[in-house]
Structure 1
């Protein structure tokens, strides 16, 4: 991409960060008008997605013009997520890698509890159970405590897990918590700790949604609560970039860099130009949240992977180290690499997405068993 386009947007961001929104808006409108008149190219989608986010932040008068350009990609009939899951390795490889780790800690028990933060529709968990079935290591009984703010997804996860439990012949108890993890009450935390069997925690692309500002300690406090539960393992899947920064210029630069590298990766995939454009549009919502929304309303607060590993250490967890299986996962464009505390999906010499794992340091068999205080908890649904 022409570096002048980045320089133009950076100047807009710097003016806005300095409180000169009028100057920023004038710069942005002129830049968009010039580039649209010069003729937009598909390879410039990186520029236009960030420019649109800035039009929303600054209430620019050219928001509709840029939307007209982007509509050619929005109108595609391709299912964006399915397209990413098939072709983009930083998406396609993440769940299998996380499931390899989860299976190590969930499998082989008579009874085990999975605390799933942001379970979504449960597709990852279904795949993990089928993997354990292939290995002959299914637990006899699985308790799933599912934290999920979307009610429809929670119902889908419940149905999917009950169906696979019947298929595989295991007992399932499903405990739905229709909320985000930061809204868990003392009673909720007690309910999790009530199970007397080994506990495993999973959070796939969910931990960065914990709502706190850069200087807040809420994420540290939540991980400290998780450590109090004494889980056998915590497995996280997270993009690696500093979109948690309160400084607007720093956050913009981190986002421009992270998504720019992701778009370069997409451009190297064996897909049509239309599919490549559609895949980039999948990230439009994240870009807009990071760039357009105010500090108190932003949701996509990604952090560098090193920050997550450090947070787990501060909470008292021990980074996991047995990532030899990563060598068995290969891709032509990304490197699946073991690092300290995580497996990285690396491209252009940096980690774009990380699968992070840490343990409590003491195997469940060597710990006192938990006392289950909530006798009579029953599975919901069916």
Structure 2
């Protein structure tokens, strides 16, 4: 970066591996990508390792400070480490602190205040959609005060950034998207796909109400009914990958309605998911509160046509009619899926575009954007001209 070379960054996050989730995976990958780019990274997290003791670990060049509560089953929070982190940030020679926020992130929220009090230039990224919590967050005023104290605010998509700005008093909020290993998800060839009249649909999700798995099945069934009327020679087959408390409910509904063409394989490995993508045609999601959609980006990178709701973070990397189809309601999603399944020329055109055109969210670009955000944090703090 012009005028400044990053030396040391502290990543602050409630959640980190070995917990599994979007923030955990992204923060872990970002830490290692920054190290690979020549930067020094230390992670400060409330997530426990193999034991519930406080530890400092070396992980392939990344130093991980684990500060969990010592109780079995305790969530990744710890209000009793403020002074310990203050000493770390105050004496660690950090050029910037980068906090990662979810819907509820008490650990990182407290550490942002610690970093600012230590006069460490601070960046804060939201990985969530601020929705019903907006009045509470606006009243608490954390984002507004951080902006007033000249922290650099960002979110993982244009939609999410607008929501953050709304609770931060209209503050400038940059977009700092999630990253993907393009080579890992991009297929080497299209030869593994079956040549038949079945259009294969896949979705990867946590089976929780917020992800709307029931609506996903409803859209699939509606699309199938439309095809039965208009293109009876075309069949749908779907694999809904993942686990969670709603999976049993969905499975019971499928059995009740005699739907044997929607499969629930449960949790799969990343290698198994990549193989499923390479044998499929369409990725479907009905999520309305999708801050980014890393699972959607993985499928788009693997060459699948995306069918998704408008008004989500997916719009940052899927343009309607180019990488997929975007619609504003579940009924419109069902119609779009049926139309796409029944028009092989259009489906193949979208797939060909996605296979030949890598997304802009490669890790190289995301690291470049992240370090630019760190430079902005330092400028705001008066450390750079």
- TMscore range, shorter length: 0.3 to 0.5
